[in-house]
Amino acid sequence: MELRQKKAFLAFFCRGSVQGGVIESISPTPQALTKRGRTGMTIDNDDILNSILASLDRVNYISPEDIPNIDLYMDQVTTFIDSRLQSSARYPGEDKILTKTMINNYAKNDLLPPPVKKKYSREHVMLLVFIYYYKGILSINDIQTLLKPITERYFQNGQAYDMERIYREAFGMEDKMLQSMKADIEEKFKVASEAFQGAPQEDTDFLHMFAFICLLGFDVYLKKLMIEKMIDELAANRQEQGKKKAHKAQGEEE
């Protein structure tokens, strides 16, 4: 498929700019759709592919410098997180990014250290950002297993290598991945555009979109399996270390 066709095809399901670390909106542009055939639409937008690839270069995250350098009450925390990540919601203005109930549940499930005098520090906010990105693909138990060692070792540890350093390193890695991500997206698009040879002409656009979504979905599925496998190993290692410490302590008492 030529570049013009690629651009037109992507127009069907991707629209928007990138803010707060994600594409702001993922939906068909009305101008890109006209009715045709059983699928109900055909696509026409010459600039969409370059627009999407360029938008990846503008991906950003909530930098530590943007986080208030004072402790915040819960209402202030939810307001700040919502203001910075609202554009990442599927339905901006309707979906809640963070609520009081969510924060209380995170603390209850030991994902978040308790506040001090009902106030949350910058490091609390950083943990909430981690949780926000993880909760879309991981269970609460998995997030707890992943973040527990981080909070134990780096949360308000008073050392040079602290929670902020972990946060910077983790989110800074995304810059290194953008080019390979763009190449991977283009490759999947190429494979999808060559799928369903011989299908009815009126269904081609939709089936190519379907193929592309299948490829992206399979990629997410496999990566989720890998993440869960690594988290299971972390949990098993942590449990084994706990048994060794308990056995050692028992031996010393005897």
153-169 residue pLDDT tens: 999 999 999 999 999 99
For residue 187, what are the contacts with CB-CB under 8 A and spacing of at least 6? none
CA dist 239 and 203 (Å) reads: 53
Local confidence band at 176 (pLDDT 50, 70, 90 cut-offs): confident
Helical (H) or strand (E) element with 226: helix 204-253
Residue 16 pLDDT > 70 = no
Mean pLDDT of 190-210: 89
CA dist 175 and 154 (Å) reads: 23
Could you tell me which residue, 175 or 80, shows the higher pLDDT? 80
pTM value?
0.76
Residue 244 pLDDT > 60 = yes
CA dist 8 and 3 (Å) reads: 9
Best CA proximity match to 204, nearest among 13, 32, 39, 19 = 39
- pLDDT at residue 35 in the model: 42
Which backbone phi and psi does 119 adopt, to 5 degrees?
Answer: -115, 145
Cβ atoms 106, 128 nearer than 8 A: yes
- 3-class SS of residue 121: coil
**DSSP character at residue 65:** G
Which amino acid makes up residue 234?
L
Least confident of 31-45, 54-68, 108-122, 193-207: 31-45
Cβ atoms 116, 74 nearer than 8 A: no
- pLDDT at residue 152 in the model: 94
For residue 113, what are its two tokens?
Answer: 């250290």
- 3-class SS of residue 18: strand
Mean pLDDT of 63-77: 94
- pLDDT at residue 247 in the model: 67
pLDDT, averaged across the chain: 80
Q: What own/partner pairs with CB < 8 Å and gap ≥ 24 does 199-203 have?
A: 200/37, 200/38, 201/37, 202/36, 202/37, 202/38, 202/39, 203/37, 203/38, 203/39
**DSSP character at residue 116:** B
